[in-house]
Amino acid sequence: MKFSAPLKSDSIKVMLLGSGELGKEVVIEAQRLGVETVAVDSYNNAPAQLVANKSYTINMKNKNEILDVIRREKPDFILPEVEAINIDALFTAENEGYHVIPNADAVNKTMNRKNIREFAAVDLKLPTSKYEFVSTFEALKKAALNIGFPCVIKPVMSSSGHGQSIAKSEDDLASSWELAKEARGDASELIVEEFISFDYEITLLTARNENQTVFCEPIGHIQQDGDYIFSWQPMNMSETAKKRSQEIAKKITDGLGGRGIFGVELFVKGDDVYFSEVSPRPHDTGMVTMITQSQSEFALHIRAVLGLPLDFIDYGAGASAAYKSKNDSFNPQIDVNNTVFTNTSYVRVFGKPQSHKGRRMAVALTFDKNSSDKALQQAKQIIENFDD
Ligand SMILES: Nc1ncnc2c1ncn2[C@@H]1O[C@H](COP(=O)(O)OP(=O)(O)OP(=O)(O)O)[C@@H](O)[C@H]1O
Ligand SMILES: NCC(=O)N[C@@H]1O[C@H](COP(=O)([O-])[O-])[C@@H](O)[C@H]1O
Ligand SMILES: [Mg+2]
């Protein structure tokens, strides 16, 4: 176990490419181990920049700007935190000897639904929904009729539900096409997916490095318009479904390789488990681990990166509720009702410098030793009392 060397203060430097709420927690965990942190994003005062040793604001889609900060800072590890990053820059950095987490190829595969879906379904033979890729309206119609209604239509490059819709019949296809076009720009493609009427969906957080792979307890979640609003852990599932979920998670994370935490998104119907997608980084639904685990997903990510042991204990059940802004403001103020400050709940305010309607600004976390349901009920009640 390489335990002692990396923890010498200032001996290790990590650079986050993307500095939102997830990166902020990664930076805090890195700081706790005496690791130097550099936070990069496309706007000033992004959450992780508020707590990092150093920060840069650059155009994250520009290859040279990314390579400039990397070559200037010479980080030991580069941690992509958002999907919208110039991928050529990561491949070039890797060729120059920099260590991209988990690796540039995994980031490339997961940022595009076509790459990750084909890798999962064709190369690894994991169960997924039926799917087709299309780039014209005619092809969309054909694919939807072939797959059947309802079907889910998504740009191949997007996240947090942007440009995504469900077509219930042929009549909906024109509006789905328009919605997706706005989010994707002209050139790229759409995926048309069979709608899986799952019983529930989970994120299976999986941390790996060369020495070890560990699974967190499954996290159940509810999405609204393709974006997460509530999550809880553990999700109560059958032993068979849990075992199948872990097998899928192991295959996809081994397939992608490298060090770090992955959020493996799965749909579960009875004992059948379908692979949906995977984030090669901490997952938004995994913020609940800040209250349920001795090592949160953020701590596990940085430990995996440093090659430290990944063992942790579960404290009990918990839940999270996302607070999304109701306003557009350059001076956001979040009114957190006192109900959050109990001995089983707390709040994380991200500190984003600007709000707009629907932007995630904070999260409420709740704990219940034995019951995810009770933790979830409490999280729902608390978030109703937030305002801005
Ligand atoms: N084929 C499907 N069948 C049923 N529901 C689906 C399907 N695809 C997506 N969904 C629903 O939409 C949500 C968002 O889809 P997906 O994860 O593919 O998009 P995303 O934009 O990458 O989201 P995020 O970035 O938040 O993970 C899923 O979590 C699920 O609730
Ligand atoms: N589903 C991905 C996800 O949750 N990513 C998290 O949201 C931030 C962007 O927030 P913003 O859009 O409010 O700037 C990202 O930086 C990351 O922390
Ligand atoms: Mg998703």
Domain ranges of the chain: 5-100, 130-194, 200-384
**The pair of three-digit structure tokens given for residue 111, joined into one six-digit string:** 């940022």
For 78-91, give the secondary structure using H, E and C.
EEECCCCCCHHHHH
pLDDT for 17 beyond 50: yes
The tokens 């200037």 sit on which residue? 72
277 known member of a binding site: yes
Nearest protein Cα to ligand 2, atom 1: 160
Q: What share of the chain is helix, strand, coil (3-state, %, to 5)?
A: 35, 30, 35
Q: What is the pLDDT of residues 299-350, one digit of tens each?
A: 999 999 999 999 999 999 999 999 999 999 999 999 887 877 889 999 999 9
Q: Which residues fall inside 5 Å of ion ligand 3, going by CB?
A: 265
Pocket of ligand 2 (CB under 6 A): 18, 20-23, 81-82, 159-160, 284, 359-360
- Residue 131 Cα to ligand 1 middle (Å): 13
Higher pLDDT, 250 or 10: 250
- Enumerate the active-site residues: 159, 161, 265, 277, 284-285, 360
150-154: long-range contacts at Cβ-Cβ below 8 A with a sequence spacing of 24 or more?
150/195, 151/192, 151/193, 151/194, 151/195, 152/192, 152/193, 152/194, 152/195, 153/177, 153/180, 153/190, 153/191, 153/192, 153/193, 154/113, 154/180, 154/190, 154/191, 154/193, 154/226
Average of per-residue pLDDT across 85-106: 98
Phi then psi for residue 35, to 5 deg, are: -90, 140
pLDDT for 184 beyond 80: no
Q: What is the pLDDT of residues 221-231, one digit of tens each?
A: 999 987 899 99
pLDDT for 2 beyond 50: no
Instruction: Please spell the DSSP secondary structure of 153-189, one letter per residue.
Output: EEESS--TTTT-EEESSGGGHHHHHHHHHHHHTTTS-
Architecture of domain 5-100: 3-Layer(aba) Sandwich (3.40)
What pLDDT score does 171 carry?
Answer: 96
What pLDDT score does 337 carry?
Answer: 79
ipTM exceeds 0.90, yes or no:
yes
Average of per-residue pLDDT across 193-217: 97
**Of 161, 113, 114, 171, nearest in space to 141 by CA:** 171
Q: How many CB atoms lie within 10 A of CB 20?
A: 20
- Residue 353 Cα to ligand 2 middle (Å): 14
The C-alpha torsion from 40 through 355 and 385 to 289, rounded to 10°, is: -20
Q: Kind of pairing, strands 54-57 and 36-41? A: parallel
Nearest protein Cα to ligand 2, atom 10: 20
pLDDT for 86 beyond 90: yes
- Residue 338 Cα to ligand 3 middle (Å): 32
Architecture of domain 130-194: 2-Layer Sandwich (3.30)
Query: 206 CB less than 6 Å from ligand 1?
Result: no
pLDDT for 153 beyond 90: yes
First to last CA, the chain: 47
What pLDDT score does 8 carry?
Answer: 54
Average of per-residue pLDDT across 39-56: 98
96 known member of a binding site: no
Q: What percent of the chain clears pLDDT 70, i.e. is strictly above it?
A: 96
pLDDT for 1 beyond 80: no
pLDDT for 3 beyond 50: no
Q: What rounded mean pLDDT belongs to the chain?
A: 94
Q: Kind of pairing, strands 13-17 and 77-80? A: parallel
pLDDT for 212 beyond 90: yes
| Edge-first strand listing for the sheet containing 54-57 | 54-57, 36-41, 13-17, 77-80, 99-100
Average of per-residue pLDDT across 279-289: 98
pLDDT for 9 beyond 60: no
User: If you compute the radius of gyration of the chain from its CA atoms, what whole number of angstroms results?
Assistant: 20
What is the dotted CATH code of the domain comprising 200-384? 3.30.470.20
Q: What is the pLDDT of residues 239-257, one digit of tens each?
A: 999 999 999 999 999 999 9
What pLDDT score does 22 carry?
Answer: 98
In this structure, which ligand is nearest to the CA of 162? Answer: 1
What pLDDT score does 251 carry?
Answer: 98
The interaxial angle of helices 137-147 and 173-184, nearest 10 deg, is: 120
